[in-house]
A = this chain, B = another copy of it.
Amino acid sequence: MSRASDRAYTQIRGMILSGELAPGAPLREEQLAESCEVSRTPVRDALRRLEAESFVRRNESQRSYVADWSLDEMEEAFLLRAMLEAHAAKRTAARISWDQLERLKSINKSIFQAISKETPDIPLFLDLNRQFHAIILTASKSDRLANMLTKLIEQPVVLRTALQYDRENLLRSHHEHEELLAAFARRDGDWAEAVMTSHIRRAFHAYADAHKRGSEDGRDGLAA
């Protein structure tokens, strides 16, 4: 991909995910151009991409803002994600290779290590978790649209939610992954589908609870 446009994309995306640019914050092309050290052209390009991925929104007069998802919208996103990933998991159970299964096992072992430290390594957990789900999606052989849809909802959701996790939730997540692996190993699509559904549904409630607590404290629950 092209140098400048890609740098702008990566940098702006990073600033959003890190919280440097808070949800709802206005995004001015010229300012971003300066901070990315490119001209407005690649910045505009990056903003369109980020908009397509739901990281950025534009108001009626074409001004851009960091996307700010309401709890209802988050629930919708989780619901759809649950549907699609559960479907992917069902397909994966029928298609997964020995090699892929081993990789999943290995990743989940690393997840356990990451969250078992005295202070859980959340960034590492996030990355491993992302890898875990990505392998399942690949194995489902429903690449094209599944990827599109995941791109649409995975990052805005996943990358912000695990920040809410306490150790209990992290351990539950790990355990659910184990159950998924068992379902895959037995080629039981219905089981895998059901586990994935509850896995994501629980993640939503963990998010919603944290969000509620955050609101009561006057915080947004999303801060890094």
Q: Which residues of A contact B (CB under 8 A)?
A: 1-2, 44-45, 48-49, 52, 54, 62, 73, 76-77, 79-80, 83-84, 87, 142, 144-146, 148-149, 152-153
- Which residues of B are found within 8 Å of A83, using beta-carbon distances? 83-84, 87
- From known contacts A2-B62, A52-B52, infer whether A148 and B152 are also in contact, taking CB-CB under 8 Å: yes
A77 to B142, CA, bound (A): 10
- Which residues of B are found within 8 Å of A146, using beta-carbon distances? 76, 80
Name 16 extra pairs, CB < 8 A, besides A48-B48, A152-B152.
Answer: A54-B148, A73-B144, A73-B145, A76-B142, A76-B144, A76-B145, A76-B146, A79-B142, A80-B87, A80-B146, A80-B149, A83-B84, A83-B87, A148-B152, A149-B149, A149-B152
- Which residues of B are found within 8 Å of A153, using beta-carbon distances? 145
Task: Tell whether, in the assembled complex, residue B76 and residue A80 are in contact, meaning their CB atoms are under 8 Å apart.
Answer: no
- Which residues of B are found within 8 Å of A84, using beta-carbon distances? 80, 83
- Which residues of B are found within 8 Å of A77, using beta-carbon distances? 145
Which among A45, A48, A77, A146 has the highest number of chain B CB atoms within 10 Å? A48
- Which residues of B are found within 8 Å of A87, using beta-carbon distances? 79-80, 83
A2 to B62, CA, bound (A): 9
- Which residues of B are found within 8 Å of A52, using beta-carbon distances? 48, 52
Q: Which of B1, B45, B142 contacts A48 (CB 8 A)?
A: B45
- Which residues of B are found within 8 Å of A145, using beta-carbon distances? 73, 76-77, 80, 153
- Which residues of B are found within 8 Å of A79, using beta-carbon distances? 87, 142
A83 to B87, CA, bound (A): 9
A76 to B140, CA, bound (A): 11
Return A74 CB to nearest CB of chain B, in Å.
Answer: 10
A73 to B142, CA, bound (A): 9
